[in-house]
Amino acid sequence: MTKIFFVGSYNEGLTIRVPRMPALGESLRGGSFDMGPGGKGSNQAIAAARLGAQVSLLACVGDDIFADRALQLYAKEGIAADKVHRLPGVHTGIGFVNVLPDGENWITVDLGANLLMTADHVRDCEALIRKSDIVMAQFEAPPEPVAEAMALGRANEKLTICNPAPARSVDPAMFAHVDILTPNASEARILLGLPPDDPSPVDRLAGKLLDYGLGTVIVTLGAGGALIVNRNGETRIPALSIDAADVTGAGDSFNAALAVFLGEGLSVEDAARRAVVAGAYTAMHIGVIDGLPSRAEYERFASEQE
C-alpha cells in the first residue's frame, strides 16, 4: 500500500452553475447551487485514499462549522487527520466556484486558516514523513511549509511531488528538492514570471522549469492530455475523448492518481497515462468529491476506455 503524506489545504466549496460569464457589474442568475468540501490538498488526499493509498494530511482549518465538516469527512474517508490543526479566531478557507455549461469554470478563494500553516507544522510531522513513500504539496499553503515539506521529503529519501496550484511567483530555490512538478499550462507560465496567456509553446515552458533543478515536469493540458519533460526528452500523453460535466477537480484527481501509481512502482509515463484516466473520470461528474473514483470505479472506467 502506497503511503502518502500531504501538506495540504481545506476549503469549503460553494458552487453555482451559470449560463455564461457575467459582464462587469452584472447580476447573473445561476442555478444548481451546491456546498461541499474542497481545497486542493484535501481533494488530492481523498482521491489518493479512494484509490487505495494510506494517507496522512497536514492542514489548518478554522473554528467554524466548515472545520467540523472537514474533520467529519476525513474520518469517513479513512484519512489520518491528527495533524489537521483547528486554529481559533480564524475562518476555514472558502472557495467560490462558477461552472459554465461546457464544464469549464473559474474559482475565487479566500484561503483563511490555510495561510497560517508554518514550517514548524511540517517539522512536527517528520515522523510521518519518514513512514511515507511520497511527500506531496500544493500552493494553497504558504511557501515556507511547502518548501520545508519538499526538503524533509528529500532528506528522508522520499519521492517529492509539488502541484503548484494556484500558481504564484516564488523563489525558484524552493524547487531544489522537488522530484516532480505538475503545473498546468497557465501555472507553468506564472512560475516563470510570464502572463498566464503567454503564447510560448508548452514544451519550451517545461524546459525552462527544468532549469530550476527539477527532475521531471508534467504539464497537465486538460483536453490536450499531459506533457512529460525531463532530461531524457519529452513524452505526450493523449487525453480521453469525453463529455466533460465539471472539470473543477480533474487536476486534483490526476495528481492523486499520479502519486498512487508511482508509489505502486509504475514508471512516470505509465503513471501519468493512468492519471489522465482518473482526471477524465472526475471531469465527467458534477462536484469534486462525488467525482473522485474508488479503486473499483477507476479500474472499471479504465477498462471501458481500453
- What amino acid positions are annotated as catalytic residues? 252
Dist. CA 230–CA 27, nearest whole Å: 46
Contacts of 269 (CB under 8 A, 6+ apart): 228, 235, 237
Using the CB atoms, write b or e for 151-188: b if 16+ within 10 Å: bbbbeeebbbbbbbbebeebeeebbebbbbbbbbbbbb
Burial of 69 (0-12, 13-18, 19+ CB in 10 A): middle
Find residue 183's DSSP bridge partners. none
Contacts of 207 (CB under 8 A, 6+ apart): 229
Find residue 233's DSSP bridge partners. 230
